[in-house]
């Protein structure tokens, strides 16, 4: 494996980490108006992800930065061709982050309701559009000989990409419901468990359809096996959450997301951005990569700093590992 391949794998790992960790954040945000019956329960839901959601987004920043440095041409073409959907994702993430900070700044039900809607929208839009974006990277887009995207926004909304968006949306929603069942107690836990079972079954069906279709774009026996195990993991998540074993269920839903993404990246390789006009126009791990010296420097930086980041984030999850409920929410005038 040369440095080009190594950094393709590294970027895949970063995206997998982002989807597994930020995925349940999105799910909690999407479920905010569904599971919570009053403001105290909404605060419980938000507090389950309060200590970790911004740390989870570090995986996105790192994945984007690594793509920019390791595969600058891939980064440039992707961000120019996917400009509108990526802009919508960025705006949604900004609004969502502001909403978490501002919803409790004023003692007004109307004020809180507005920011709660921002959290829902800011979680729903990325959960949907990330699937659309990655499905187009697998399927291919209209790239000319200069590796410029010459399609339109509507070309990105093809049936396969829309199925990809629905798949990530339902996967993250189920992942979030399982996380809430794991992290809460009382009525919220019971309602989250019921919703987790239903949403996980839908997610398993959509994941099966999407990954089966994905095999058409260059799948192998190994990617098919990974896809099958991913679907099986989601099915096991349904069974285990029904039995009240939320820890195992969360592990299974995380494996389902991770294995599904491994299958997707394996199908993509070595064409990080295939061209539907002419295969010769495709961006690959070879022609989109930075210089060997740049990749070597990046490798040393990653070896030094990545363990520190992982240890810090692991410590954060360990500190905030216990369940919370309505009894843990202090009554304050502006809450």
What's the domain range around 224? 3-292+305-325
The rounded mean pLDDT for the chain is 92
Residue 332, domain member (yes or no): no
Q: pLDDT tens digits for 51-110?
A: 999 889 999 999 999 999 999 999 999 988 999 999 999 999 999 999 999 988 888 889
Inter-CA distances, 239 with 45, 200, 249, Å: 23, 10, 8
**C-alpha to C-alpha distance for 29 and 64, rounded to whole angstroms:** 23
pLDDT in tens, 199-237: 999 999 999 999 999 999 988 999 999 999 999 999 999
- Quickly count: other Cβ atoms within 10 Å of residue 144's Cβ: 12
Domain count, the chain: 1
Residue 86 domain flag: yes
Asked whether 58 and 254 are in contact (CB, 8 A), the reply is no
Give residue-wise pLDDT tens across range 285-306.
999 999 999 999 999 999 998 8
Residues near 138 by beta carbon (within 8 Å), at least 6 away in sequence:
164, 214, 217, 264, 267, 268
For residue 247, tell me if it sits in a domain. yes
Is there a domain that residue 72 lies in? Answer: yes
DSSP label at residue 37:
S
Question: Which tokens sit at 125?
Answer: 């839009």
Q: What is the CATH number of the domain that holds 76?
A: 1.20.1630.10
Domain-embedded: residue 62: yes
In this prediction, residue 321 carries a pLDDT of 86
Residue 334 confidence (pLDDT): 45
CA distances from 13 to 7, 66, 192, 217 (A): 10, 11, 29, 21
Q: Where are the alpha helices (DSSP H) in the chain?
A: 3-30, 32-35, 39-49, 53-56, 58-70, 72-81, 83-102, 109-139, 159-183, 187-214, 221-242, 246-268, 292-319
298 domain-assigned: no
pLDDT at residue 169 greater than cutoff 70: yes
183 within a domain of the structure (yes/no): yes
Q: Which two tokens stand for residue 223?
A: 């990617």
Residue 333 inside a domain? The answer is no
Stretch (H or E) spanning 273: strand 271-273
């Amino acid at each position: 494996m040369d440095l080009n391949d190594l950094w393709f794998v590294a970027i895949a790992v970063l995206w997998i980490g982002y989807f597994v960790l930020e995925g349940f954040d999105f799910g909690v945000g999407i479920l905010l108006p569904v599971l919570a019956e009053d403001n105290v329960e909404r605060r419980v839901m938000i507090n389950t992800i309060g200590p970790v959601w911004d740390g989870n987004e570090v995986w996105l920043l790192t994945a984007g930065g690594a793509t920019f440095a390791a595969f600058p041409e891939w980064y440039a073409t992707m961000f120019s061709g996917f400009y509108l959907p990526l802009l919508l994702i960025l705006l949604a993430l900004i609004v969502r982050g502001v909403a978490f900070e501002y919803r409790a700044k004023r003692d007004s039900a109307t004020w809180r309701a507005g920011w709660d809607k921002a959290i829902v929208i800011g979680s729903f839009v990325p959960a949907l559009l990330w699937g659309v974006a990655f499905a187009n990277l697998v399927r291919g887009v209209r790239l000319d000989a200069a590796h410029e995207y010459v399609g339109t926004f509507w070309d990105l909304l093809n049936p396969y990409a829309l199925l990809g968006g629905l798949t990530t949306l339902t996967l993250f929603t189920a992942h979030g419901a399982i996380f809430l069942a794991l992290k809460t107690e009382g009525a919220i836990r019971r309602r989250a468990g019921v919703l987790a079972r239903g949403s996980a079954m839908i997610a398993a069906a959509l994941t099966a359809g999407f990954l089966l279709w994905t095999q058409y774009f260059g799948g192998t026996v190994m990617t098919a096996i990974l896809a099958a195990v991913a679907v099986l993991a989601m099915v096991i998540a349904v069974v285990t959450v029904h039995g009240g074993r939320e820890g195992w269920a969360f592990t299974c839903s995380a494996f389902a997301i991770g294995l599904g993404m491994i299958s997707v990246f394996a199908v993509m390789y070595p064409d990080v951005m295939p061209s539907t006009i002419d295969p010769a126009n495709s961006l690959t791990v070879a022609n989109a990569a930075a210089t060997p010296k740049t990749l070597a420097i990046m490798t040393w930086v990653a070896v030094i700093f990545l363990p520190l980041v992982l240890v810090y984030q692991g410590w954060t999850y360990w500190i905030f590992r216990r369940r919370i409920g309505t009894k843990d929410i202090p009554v304050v005038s502006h809450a």
